[in-house]
């Protein structure tokens, strides 16, 4: 196989990988997202704030079972007004928790809004049962098998010692069951989004009592998700030595039956970690005592208005002797998945692998360090786009020796081009001898015919790692660059098909092909830099190769138009640096730079045509 044919084969394989990858990571998820949106719309038409889990009992000291659902859906504000509440106010979050059931079910994020418009509503994370999208956390006690002790449930109204929860003012709740047990719960919150729940039981009766502490996060209905394979949205946990577990909403409904009509997964006797439900940028997670074993469970149960998803933990038995008091501490994270905050909690509280609450992906060893470097330069210059440009230069410098050898080999290939053509003419009828002569030439000149592929292969893992950073880290959300790029994590909002906004028309609304028409300025710049980079090399003599390489920049331009703008800016900048690097090496090795000649031939050929 000749060098040209090897390059052709490699280019075809690479193109197929990119096309399949694009369809896998973008095309299929887009259809899945549309399906989920249709499903969510149908749920909203009938969803009334599905069944709220009630710790009314267990089957053999299992996790809390579900209770009954409100029959009618009301607005969120109306649902909040149905029970007395304690206000929550911290620098990062605002909301309240209900004294009926002591549920933490009203959380809004002060620092984050729905769109880049500063007047848009704040992100709402948690909402009460009975509202259109119930999502809440609950803590308490359940009894063992056969016990008849009265414990607080979702309908219990607690007494609070104050009406406001702040980082400096914890709230203590009290409930007397009238049967010799006094339940107390102290709820504290820090400056960010971590709640500390201390549950205690005082036994004033004459008999010992055995109870199990629990904590849960419950979500009713299937929420709208991004639908991308590279991003997990759904139930999540690190369950001791069982490690990270990620369960999608659709996948959970296919699990084996556990108890009655509930489906899910149970992990018994694990120690350390967390369990909860995550979105792309936000999460609610229960953090049990990291030194005590517990049972973790992901489950789903049917409801009158849609499925009810739940992540919960059940602690070991706590026996309270007469005259004694027992206490357990559990935590709840309910907020934005900021890297610094998540890492701080992991270290300060000793939460096992809490950083995996952020979906760093398979390239964890590249993705997270890459984010830290970008974040370092962001703090230095105040612009994530500038930080990406600087990191690109650093990456090019790190891989310069390997890329340099590749470009030198490519330059040598160009230098011996006349000899290669002579060999092909000499052995035109004997492909075997032609190949042997070419290999001897490569060996004599110390040339690797596939060396030109390495610069492309090198940047692929970095490309996907950067894509992951831009896609999953909240720090990139709504991060502006310059000019019209107000969100590096979103595609370039401009499009050539309405003359970049001069024509008052939105091409994205065109059925079927609308998203293909969103071809912005930066994707066009990327395509141009890729075109220039390819024109640095002699054009292939084979017409098939020539046609394929001519169309490749166009294909990539349309493909990357739907990718985050930060990724397209990186690719454009990387192409420009590659052109400068390759030009420098070619000039240093005395090889003719084909750029201007190829451009002249391309456009003159088109003019003649």
Q: What is the pLDDT of residue 52?
A: 32
- Looking at 288-402, which runs of residues are DSSP E strands? 293-301, 308-315, 318-320, 325-336
* Residue 230 near residue 363, CB atoms below 8 Å: no
Q: What is the pLDDT of residue 257?
A: 62
* Residue 52 near residue 218, CB atoms below 8 Å: yes
Of 51-60, 327-336, 531-540, 555-564, which gets the smallest average pLDDT? Answer: 51-60
Of 73-82, 92-101, 212-221, 533-542, which gets the smallest average pLDDT? Answer: 533-542
78-359, CATH topology level = Beta-galactosidase; Chain A, domain 5 (2.70.98)
Token representation of residue 96: 């309240």
Q: What is the pLDDT of residue 404?
A: 73
Give residue for tokens 């600087």.
Answer: 390
Q: What is the pLDDT of residue 312?
A: 94
> For residue 32, is pLDDT > 80?
no
Query: How far, CA to CA in Å, does 416 sit from each of 1, 7, 209, 412, 431?
Result: 18, 17, 89, 6, 19
* Residue 91 near residue 190, CB atoms below 8 Å: no
User: DSSP assignment, residue 318?
Assistant: E
Q: Within its chain, how far is the Cα of 586 from the centroid?
A: 41
What is d(CA 337, CA 340) in angstroms, rounded to the nearest whole number?
9
pLDDT confidence tier of residue 71, bands split at 50, 70 and 90 = low
Q: What is the pLDDT of residue 583?
A: 82
> For residue 5, is pLDDT > 80?
no
* Residue 416 near residue 600, CB atoms below 8 Å: no
Cβ atoms within 10 Å, residue 373: 15
- Asked whether the CA dihedral 347, 353, 355, 361 is positive or negative, the reply is positive
> For residue 138, is pLDDT > 80?
yes
Please give the span between the terminal C-alpha atoms of the chain, in angstroms, as a whole number: 33
What is d(CA 326, CA 199) in angstroms, rounded to the nearest whole number?
8
Of 20-24, 412-416, 516-520, which gets the smallest average pLDDT? Answer: 20-24
Token representation of residue 248: 């999608």
What does DSSP say about strands 164-165 and 85-89: parallel, antiparallel, or unpaired? parallel
What is d(CA 214, CA 197) in angstroms, rounded to the nearest whole number?
11
Query: Which of 328, 320, 128, 133 shows the shortest CA–CA distance to 215?
Result: 328
Strand partners, 298: 265, 311
pLDDT mean across residues, the chain: 82
User: DSSP assignment, residue 129?
Assistant: T
pLDDT confidence tier of residue 453, bands split at 50, 70 and 90 = low
What is d(CA 87, CA 165) in angstroms, rounded to the nearest whole number?
6
* Residue 533 near residue 523, CB atoms below 8 Å: no
Token representation of residue 76: 């969120």
Q: In what order do the strands lie in the sheet with 194-203?
A: 159-160, 171-176, 181-189, 194-203, 325-336, 282-287, 273-278, 234-239, 244-248
Mean pLDDT, rounded, for 185-197: 97
pLDDT confidence tier of residue 223, bands split at 50, 70 and 90 = confident
Of 227-231, 284-288, 469-473, 475-479, which gets the smallest average pLDDT? Answer: 227-231
- Ranges of CATH 2.70.98.90 domains, the chain: 78-359
Give the three-class secondary structure for 175: strand
User: DSSP assignment, residue 306?
Assistant: S
Higher pLDDT pick, 464 / 457: 464
Q: What is the pLDDT of residue 146?
A: 66
Token representation of residue 200: 């205690």
* Residue 151 near residue 141, CB atoms below 8 Å: yes
Of 219-223, 228-232, 457-461, 549-553, which gets the smallest average pLDDT? Answer: 457-461
Residue 40: its H or E element: helix 28-46
Q: What is the pLDDT of residue 315?
A: 94
Q: What is the pLDDT of residue 156?
A: 94
Q: At what angle do helices 454-472 and 364-381 cross, to 10 degrees?
A: 70
Q: At what angle do helices 400-415 and 384-398 cross, to 10 degrees?
A: 60
DSSP annotation string for 468-507: HHHHH-GGGTT---STT---TTS-----GGGTTTTSS--G
263-311 per-position pLDDT tens digit: 788 899 999 999 999 999 999 999 999 999 999 999 998 876 678 999 9
Q: What is the pLDDT of residue 515?
A: 72
Q: What is the pLDDT of residue 45?
A: 35
By residue count, the chain amounts to 609
**Angle, alpha carbons 557-563-566 (nearest 5°):** 100
Calculate Rg over the CA atoms of the chain: 30
Higher pLDDT pick, 468 / 27: 468
Cβ atoms within 10 Å, residue 249: 20
Mean pLDDT, rounded, for 317-331: 95
Strand partners, 294: 270, 315
């Amino acid at each position: 196989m000749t060098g040209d044919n090897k390059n052709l084969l490699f280019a075809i394989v690479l193109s197929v990988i990119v096309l399949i990858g694009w369809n896998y990571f973008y095309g299929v998820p887009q259809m899945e997202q549309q399906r989920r949106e249709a499903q969510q719309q149908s749920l909203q038409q009938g969803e009334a704030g599905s069944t709220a889990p009630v710790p009314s009992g267990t089957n053999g000291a299992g996790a809390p079972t579900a209770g009954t659902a409100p029959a009618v859906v009301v607005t969120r504000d109306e649902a909040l007004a149905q029970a007395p509440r304690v206000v929550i106010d911290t620098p990062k979050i605002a909301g309240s928790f209900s004294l009926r059931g002591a549920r933490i079910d009203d959380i809004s994020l002060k620092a984050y809004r729905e769109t880049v418009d500063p007047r848009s509503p704040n992100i709402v994370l948690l909402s009460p049962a009975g509202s259109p999208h119930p999502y809440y956390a609950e803590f308490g006690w359940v009894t063992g098998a056969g016990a008849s002790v009265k414990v607080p449930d979702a309908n219990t109204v607690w007494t609070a010692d104050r009406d406001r929860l702040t980082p400096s003012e914890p709230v203590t709740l009290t409930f007397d069951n009238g049967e010799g047990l006094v339940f107390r719960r102290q709820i504290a919150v820090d400056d960010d989004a971590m709640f500390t729940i201390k549950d205690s039981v005082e036994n004033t009766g004459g008999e010992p009592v055995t109870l199990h502490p629990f904590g849960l996060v419950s979500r009713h209905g299937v929420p709208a998700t991004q639908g991308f394979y590279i991003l997990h949205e759904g139930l999540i946990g690190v369950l001791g030595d069982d490690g990270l577990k990620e369960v999608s909403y659709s996948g959970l409904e296919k699990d084996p039956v556990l108890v009655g009509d509930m489906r899910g997964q149970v992990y018994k006797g694990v120690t350390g970690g967390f369990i909860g439900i995550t979105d792309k940028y936000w999460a609610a997670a229960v953090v049990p005592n990291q030194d005590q074993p517990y049972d973790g469970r992901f489950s789903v149960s049917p409801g009158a208005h849609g499925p009810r998803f739940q992540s919960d933990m059940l602690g070991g038995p706590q026996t309270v002797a007469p005259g004694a008091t027992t206490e357990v501490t559990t935590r709840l994270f309910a907020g934005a998945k900021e890297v610094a905050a998540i890492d701080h909690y992991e270290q300060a509280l000793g939460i096992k692998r809490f950083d995996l609450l952020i979906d760093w992906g398979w390239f964890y060893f590249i993705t997270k360090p890459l984010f830290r470097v970008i974040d370092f330069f962001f703090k230095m210059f105040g612009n994530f786009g500038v930080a990406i440009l600087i990191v690109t230069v650093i990456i090019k410098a790190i891989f310069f020796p390997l890329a340099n050898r590749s470009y030198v080999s490519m330059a040598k290939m160009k230098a011996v081009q006349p000899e290669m053509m002579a060999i092909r003419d000499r052995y035109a009828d004997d492909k075997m001898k032609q190949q042997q002569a070419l290999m001897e030439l490569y060996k004599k000149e110390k040339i690797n015919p596939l060396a030109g592929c390495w610069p492309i292969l090198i940047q692929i893992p970095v490309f996907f790692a950067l894509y992951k950073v831009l896609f999953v880290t909240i720090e990139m959300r709504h991060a502006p660059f310059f000019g019209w790029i107000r969100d590096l994590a979103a595609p370039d909002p401009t499009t050539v098909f309405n003359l970049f906004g001069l024509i008052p028309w939105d091409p994205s609304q065109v059925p079927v092909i609308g998203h293909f028409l969103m071809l912005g300025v930066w994707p066009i710049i990327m395509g141009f830099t890729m075109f220039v980079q390819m024109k640095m090399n002699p054009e292939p003599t084979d017409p098939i190769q020539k046609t394929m390489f001519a169309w490749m920049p166009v294909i990539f331009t349309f493909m990357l138009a739907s990718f985050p703008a930060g990724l397209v800016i990186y690719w454009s900048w990387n192409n420009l640096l590659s052109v400068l690097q390759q030009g420098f090496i070619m000039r240093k090795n005395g090889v003719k730079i084909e750029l201007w000649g190829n451009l002249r031939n391309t456009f003159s050929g088109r003019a003649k045509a």
